[in-house]
A = this chain, B = another copy of it.
């Protein structure tokens, strides 16, 4: 069934880039990890926009091969020198503490301290982002320039954290469409103050869900905001039946920088979501990078594990790991821009336009061309600035609407944007030259 109301433009608003940026900026300072109050507070922010359902899964719960870990929270952390100066202060940047650091309060030598310090010698001004979720340890992260200036002193070290029985928290929002077939959007929500990775994706999907409310869609849209890896695994373990309904999906991360756009195909490689987004990116005027699936990356690793093998790809701007800002303090609010967020948002909504509107029309006058001129169809479009494209679109649609080719097939073959093909097909249908076969299937 083709829900004809869907137009990607309905999802776009003026200043959508600014709105997404503002939400990303709001959640940027929160110290998130794979569990804990940082995740909760972030989800509370999203709940101001959408009717997010927040799930709490107890420590120790088995999820496939994994177990929900203890909940981690942190209140304060610093390194003080003998003069009482805080040379490192968690209050200034939550990247300073390795995520899941166990509590510590000690006075130690520089030499011992150095066993618990991470720096980036090649990027000496930046603080690295480090985690130790499944091995008990503590550490601080700092700029290498500062590390080199540390005096041979005795240091007071404090990490006021806790690692206790608690919960893993994730948020879920379902936009109900005309069918129970689902489109899954997934963003990881476990990184602390990293703007692009992934405040950008979380904020973008929140606005997409918000703007989708009230819109009639063919598919139901599920938005999942969960910690990376363990969060996706937890959701999959608790929703195995639901996965049967997932027909398309995108993992969304790092969507605010100027790079890319990048799309990594699903494991299946050429499903409708793969074809739709590749088509949109190729007609975007940008220089997209289209990557084949590989089992390293974001939560598509879980969705595309062989026991699920869902048609879920990954959308990004720059490719993860290939930019110097990746997992450092340089991934801050200066690194993402409203214009890029807006562009990413538009590319995703245009992809949905393809997914929602792809259908197979039947040419009702398949023997020879119909006389378009008599109907004013050549003339009608002759005034458009896109007249030539529209004329070719008419000819392609009539030629290929044989019950086999869908609009996306035709758009690919004609090398014309899906939107031109869709609008032209709707016009030809109005003139009685085409019949939409989707109701019949």
Contact = CB atoms under 8 A, between A and B. Distances in A.
A305 B395 CA distance: 10
Contact of A368 (B296, B305, B399): B305
Interface size class of A (residues with CB under 8 A): 35 or more
Contacts of A402: 306, 309
A150 B439 CA distance: 62
B400 A306 contact: yes
Contact of A398 (B267, B295, B369, B371): B295
A373 B296 CA distance: 15
B65 A301 contact: no
A370 B184 CA distance: 23
A308 interface: yes
Given A65-B365, A66-B371, A296-B392, A267 B233 contact: no
Contact of A64 (B229, B306, B309, B368): B368
A244 to B, nearest CB: 13
A399 B233 contact: no
A238 to B, nearest CB: 12
A121 interface: no
Output the residue of A135, A295, A368 with the most chain B CB within 10 A. A368
A295 B414 CA distance: 9
Output the residue of A63, A64, A232 with the most chain B CB within 10 A. A64
Interface in A272-318: 294-296, 301-302, 304-309
A374 B134 contact: yes
A382 interface: no
A230 to B, nearest CB: 9
Interface in A362-377: 363, 365-371, 373-374
Given A134-B373, A233-B369, A306-B366, 6 more contacts: A237-B367, A296-B392, A302-B368, A306-B401, A306-B402, A307-B365
Contacts of A66: 368, 371
A366 B399 contact: no
A393 B371 CA distance: 51
A391 to B, nearest CB: 8
A236 interface: yes
